[in-house]
Amino acid sequence: MKEMVAGAEVVGGHAQWKELPPTRRRPPSRMRRRIVTLLPVAIVVVALVAVLYKGLSSALVYFYTAQQAVAMRSTLGSSTFRMEGVVVPGTIVSTVNGVNFSIRFNHTVVQVIEVGSPPQLFQPKIPVVVVGHFAGKRFFSDQIMVKHSANYVAAHPGRISHAGGTS
Amino acid sequence: MKSDRAVQGLGLVAVLAIVATYILGLWITPPAAVMGNLVRLLYIHPPVAWVAYLAYGVTSVASILYLWKRTRDPRWDLIAASSAEIGVVFTALTLLTGSIWGRPTWGVWWTWDARLTTTALLFLLYVGYLALRRATPDVTQRSKRSAVAALIAFIDVPIVHQSVVWWKTLHQSATVFNASLSPKVHGEMAWTLLLGFIAFSLAYVWMLIRRYQIAVLISKRQEILLQGALDERMSTV
């Protein structure tokens, strides 16, 4: 005996699975569902591998100090690398193509020929990382990056002491 | 509802604290000796990075509590996911503000040094965590898998922090959480930075509560929809 309870079909007092009329939209296949759900994971994995590859090849030895670079000059040859040192005061000379200056690390001084404009904070006594290669004893660079310290000192220390600062 | 008013109040305090940080950071604090006005990003960039660490820390603790059978509860999974979402937003903000700060300071928008590379990796690891959560409709399977993934991803957090110590980087060493825990920041600049940390931490707590509430509602809605679908097809005696 068939009867209808709340829109559902009940046969002989037992619960029945009611087949609903098919909707216009076809449900996506299992393969398609799998692709849709796993695609974002795959994209992230590819990005991770790319960052790891780029990072591992560059970040681990990000730069040599001027002292290390001079010691390794014959090994480095004319290859491009990054070199760190502090800009020696009184050596900065502007040129038509950029700027010439020297950097120091401990007692080692290297003359740098820079092609291009230096960054805003470039100045004497500031640590920099230059990108380029050796040509003889001089270092030819096409990029200067300023390395800032984690010390933040106010430009007006007098004003701070009056305000009860901790300088 | 008393608790909802408390959350609203927390949100208001967070907004006011962020506004105060901006006012102090942009107009009251002095320019720095070397950086000049570029120092004003100091009040945003480290606090934002701190919140990302904090968010991933909460995700990890919640994931452990979910994985541990004694404390297993679906709510821990929802908290972990909610916090990870906020962490991803704040990691993106860390990368963005760092890049904006780096261009005039260093002279480049981006460089592949250890700090920047490990931070980019951190961002991708947690985007991967969120993508993994969408990869399976089975709630229990999803929760277990993502809890394990969250713990694996968290390994990168101490690596990011220590990267400036372990490797030569263009990025400066830690400003606040350095080895001696003594920030070398001048007077009122230091107080503004501290306010920035508090303001963004409060904002994080507010966002976490609200995101968790939304996650609970979504979860309940899914249960109701599932029950409705079953009721539509089944009859009861």
> Digits of tens for pLDDT over chain A (167 positions)?
444 444 445 555 566 677 766 666 677 777 777 777 778 778 888 888 887 777 766 767 899 999 999 999 999 999 999 999 999 999 999 999 899 999 999 999 999 999 988 998 999 999 999 999 999 999 999 999 999 888 888 886 555 444 444 43
Domain of B28 in residue numbering reads as 2-221
A123: alpha, beta or left? (left if phi > 0; alpha if psi -120 to 50): beta
B190 part of contact set with chain A, CB < 8 Å: yes
pLDDT value for A157: 56
Nearest-Å Rg of the Cα atoms of chain A is 33
A1 part of contact set with chain B, CB < 8 Å: no
Own/partner pairs, B205-209, CB within 8 angstroms, 24+ separation: B205/B10, B205/B14, B206/B7, B206/B10, B206/B11, B206/B14, B207/B86, B208/B55, B208/B58, B208/B79, B208/B82, B208/B83, B208/B86, B209/B7, B209/B10
Lowest mean pLDDT among A120-129, B46-55, B177-186: B177-186
CATH code for position B31: 1.20.120
pLDDT value for A43: 84
**A136: phi then psi, degrees, rounded to nearest 5:** 75, -130
A72 part of contact set with chain B, CB < 8 Å: no
Q: Selecting from 3.30.70.20, 3.40.720.10, 3.20.20.240, 2.40.50.140, what CATH number does the domain A64-146 have?
A: 2.40.50.140
For strand A127-135 and strand A108-115, is the pairing parallel, antiparallel, or unpaired? unpaired
pLDDT value for B237: 46
* Between residues B63 and A11, the one the model is more confident about: B63
In a domain, B235, yes or no: no
Q: Is the pLDDT of residue B163 over 60?
A: yes
Give the ipTM: 0.81
In a domain, B7, yes or no: yes
In a domain, B180, yes or no: yes
In a domain, B229, yes or no: no
pLDDT single digits (tens) B69-96: 999 999 999 999 999 999 999 999 999 9
Contact yes or no for A62 and B105 at CB 8 A:
no
In a domain, B78, yes or no: yes
In a domain, B237, yes or no: no
Point out which residues pair with A65 in neighbouring strands: A84
Total of domains in chain B: 1
Give the HSE-up count for residue B80: Cα atoms under 13 Å, Cβ half-sphere.
31
